[in-house]
């Protein structure tokens, strides 16, 4: 791991005004959520918290993923990567430094969002499982920025990398839904059953390498609580396992690359 | 002249396209969105997929949509014109997405229950009947509202009695006594005086230690002054100290 490289990435985020952008957009989300939630005839506070949590999640995620993709592609296009790799930095160190720097950025963004959501929940007296939600949202950001980094390393076009990242995010958010509707017919009799069995196996196989983001930061935790110790453990375990997998996959790709 | 036209042709084309655009506007500006009545609710999977698997977000967004039905095209509609059968599917969807919230039950009971056409209220009553027995705090109040809708809006006393019977079963110490009294009041209203007497006395005897003295006095008043005939009242020991 290279501290200079981490500093270089953090400086890039600072130069791109990433966190300022997230902060300003968050303010807009809070205002819109308060406005929309106030239209509810009862349970206004629950509406406001739900909209703020959902809106901030998307805003921060868009900012972090787009920054990651464009920063990495810019580093390749301006030959910064080639220059960096001529220094005494190994390829694995290059990958780990990026993952660590991006994790620091997501932790700052997660902390910022947690302060807003936690503050509002405290203000409304609804503090059920707020810390668990904040922990989950930070790991959700870490996973998505890691995957954005991977796609930006593998795909040469920032547009393709960005689209792949958002496609992956949507798939990861919906994986719970997909797994709930797949059906296996043990004794398939017609073509429909066989096609459905085939599709179900494909979804089952894909789900092995897709994290369950729908289980990470559940908005209902902010209102009704319900988070338990196993949720904390699952968030941490899935985050570590998946980010490690992505880091290794990016390293394998970088090892094969000729400059 | 020819040279001038050639030099200004881009402005002429722009002006021509603006005029064409104006023509399109003349055709389209009077075409306003039309109230297409309440559509059937999407499935649970579709609704939560549309919000990336966030069921709470889906519930809150669809609940606000439900609240704005009939009023989101700038044309306010009367509740009697709503398709209540489809409305029932939205209540069910809300229940599937979040069974803890009181928002959709509140809308169903106190807003959609106010329809000018009481014959359409069965989907509302069926929904309130289902969620009214959920164990969450105060859900029984929606069953109470279902009793009110059946008795006073639909004038269906048989249904009201069935619902009141279900309401009485939700009674727990700490609740007000009217969920217990409701079935006796409805039975009395239907002329079933003996049934009303038995129900009221049964409620009084089984829950007397949990009831507020004011509630006990009210129940005695109902028994002695409304359910029993004057001659039976004279001989009933419960009515010994009850004022006429």
What pLDDT is recorded for position B24?
95
Share of chain B above pLDDT 90, in %: 48
Give A54's contacts in chain B (Cβ within 8 Å).
51, 54, 57
Closest alpha carbon within chain A to B97:
A220
Does the pLDDT of residue B196 top 90, yes or no? no
Compute the mean pLDDT over every residue in chain B, rounded to the nearest whole number: 87
pLDDT tens profile A44-63:
999 999 999 999 999 999 99
- Distance between CA atoms of B212 and B177, rounded to whole angstroms? 8
DSSP B133: T
Report the range of poorest mean pLDDT among A140-144, A241-245, B222-226. Answer: B222-226
User: Which pLDDT score, from 0 to 100, does residue B4 have?
Assistant: 81
Residue A103 has pLDDT above 90, yes or no: yes
- For residues A153 and A255, give the distance between their C-alpha atoms in angstroms, rounded to a whole number: 12
* CA dist list (Å): A183 to A166, A169, A186, A190, A195: 27, 23, 10, 14, 11
pLDDT value, residue A259: 65
Would you give the end-to-end CA distance of chain A in angstroms? 21
For testing contact with chain A, the best of B60, B98, B105 (most A CBs within 10 A): B60
pLDDT digits (tens, 9 = 90+) for B66-108: 998 888 667 788 999 999 999 999 999 999 999 999 999 999 9
Structure-block tokens of residue A111? 């902390």
Kindly determine whether residue B67 and residue A54, on different chains, have CB atoms separated by under 8 Å: no
pLDDT at res. B150: 93
- Local structure of B174: helix, strand or coil: coil
Q: B213-222 and B178-189 are packed helices; what angle lies between their axes, rounded to 10 degrees?
A: 10
- Closest-CA distance, A253 to chain B, in angstroms, reads 30
- Are A60 and A113 a contacting pair, CB within 8 Å? yes
Q: Give the residue extent of every domain in chain B.
A: 35-156, 171-244
Q: Which pLDDT belongs to residue B187?
A: 85
Tokens of A194: 């066989």
Q: What pLDDT, on a 0 to 100 scale, did the predictor assign at position B242?
A: 77
- How far apart, in whole angstroms, are the C-alpha atoms of residue B157 and residue B151? 5
> Which sequence spans correspond to the domains of chain A?
3-256
Cβ atoms within 10 Å, residue B48: 26
Distance from CA of B179 to the nearest CA of A (A): 24
Which of the two residues, A210 and B181, has the higher pLDDT score?
A210
A162: left (phi over 0), alpha (psi -120 to 50) or beta: alpha
Residue A154 neighbours by CB under 8 Å, 6+ apart = A161, A250, A253
* Residue of chain B minimizing CA distance to A176: B53
Residue B139 has pLDDT above 80, yes or no: yes
What pLDDT does A127 receive?
66
Contact A42 B111 (CB under 8 A): no
pLDDT digits (tens, 9 = 90+) for A5-25: 889 889 888 888 888 899 999
C-alpha distances out from residue B237 to B185, B205, B212, B233, Å = 21, 14, 21, 8
């Amino acid at each position: 791991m290279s501290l200079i490289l981490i500093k270089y990435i953090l400086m890039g985020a600072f130069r791109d005004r990433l966190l300022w952008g997230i902060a300003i957009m968050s303010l807009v989300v809070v205002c819109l959520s308060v406005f929309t939630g106030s239209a509810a005839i009862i349970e206004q506070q629950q509406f406001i918290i739900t909209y703020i949590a959902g809106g901030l999640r998307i805003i921060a995620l868009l900012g972090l993923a787009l920054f990651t993709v464009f920063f990495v592609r810019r580093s390749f296009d301006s030959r910064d990567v080639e220059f960096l790799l001529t220094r005494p930095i190994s390829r694995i160190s290059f990958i780990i430094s990026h993952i660590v720097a991006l994790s620091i950025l997501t932790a700052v963004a997660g902390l910022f969002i947690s302060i807003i959501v936690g503050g509002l929940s405290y203000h409304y007296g609804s503090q059920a499982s707020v810390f668990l939600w904040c922990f989950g949202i930070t790991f959700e950001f870490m996973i998505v920025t890691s995957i954005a980094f991977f796609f930006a390393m593998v795909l040469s076009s920032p547009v393709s990398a960005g689209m792949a990242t958002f496609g992956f995010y949507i798939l990861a958010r919906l994986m719970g839904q997909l797994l709930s509707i797949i059906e296996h017919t043990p004794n398939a009799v017609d073509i429909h059953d066989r096609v459905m069995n085939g599709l179900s196996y494909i979804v089952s196989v894909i789900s092995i390498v897709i994290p369950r983001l729908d289980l990470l930061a559940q908005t209902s935790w902010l209102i009704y609580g319900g988070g338990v110790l196993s949720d904390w453990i699952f968030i941490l375990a899935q985050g570590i396992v998946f980010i490690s997998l992505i880091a290794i996959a990016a390293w394998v790709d970088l090892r094969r690359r000729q400059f | 002249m020819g040279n001038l036209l050639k030099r200004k042709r881009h402005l002429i084309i722009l002006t021509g396209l603006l005029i064409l655009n104006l023509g399109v506007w003349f055709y389209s500006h009077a075409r306003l969105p039309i109230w297409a009545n309440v559509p059937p609710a999407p499935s649970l999977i579709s609704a939560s997929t549309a919000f990336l698997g966030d069921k709470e977000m889906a519930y809150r967004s669809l609940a606000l949509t439900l609240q704005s039905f009939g009023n989101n095209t700038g044309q306010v509609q009367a509740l009697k014109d709503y398709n209540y059968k489809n409305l029932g599917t939205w209540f069910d969807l809300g229940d599937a997405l979040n069974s803890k919230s009181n928002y959709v039950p509140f809308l169903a009971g106190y807003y959609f229950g106010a329809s000018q056409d009481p014959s359409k209220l069965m989907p509302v009553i069926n929904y309130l009947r289902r969620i009214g027995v959920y164990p969450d705090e105060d859900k029984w109040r929606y069953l109470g509202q279902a009793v009110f809708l059946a008795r006073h809006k639909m004038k269906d006393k048989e249904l009201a009695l069935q619902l009141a019977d279900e309401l009485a079963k939700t009674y727990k110490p700490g609740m007000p006594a009217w969920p217990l009294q409701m079935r006796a009041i409805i039975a009395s209203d239907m002329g079933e005086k003996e049934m009303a007497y038995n129900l009221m006395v049964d409620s009084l005897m089984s829950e007397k230690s949990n009831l507020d003295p004011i509630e006990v006095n009210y129940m005695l008043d109902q028994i002695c002054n409304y359910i029993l005939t004057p001659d039976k009242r004279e001989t009933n020991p419960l009515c010994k100290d009850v004022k006429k």
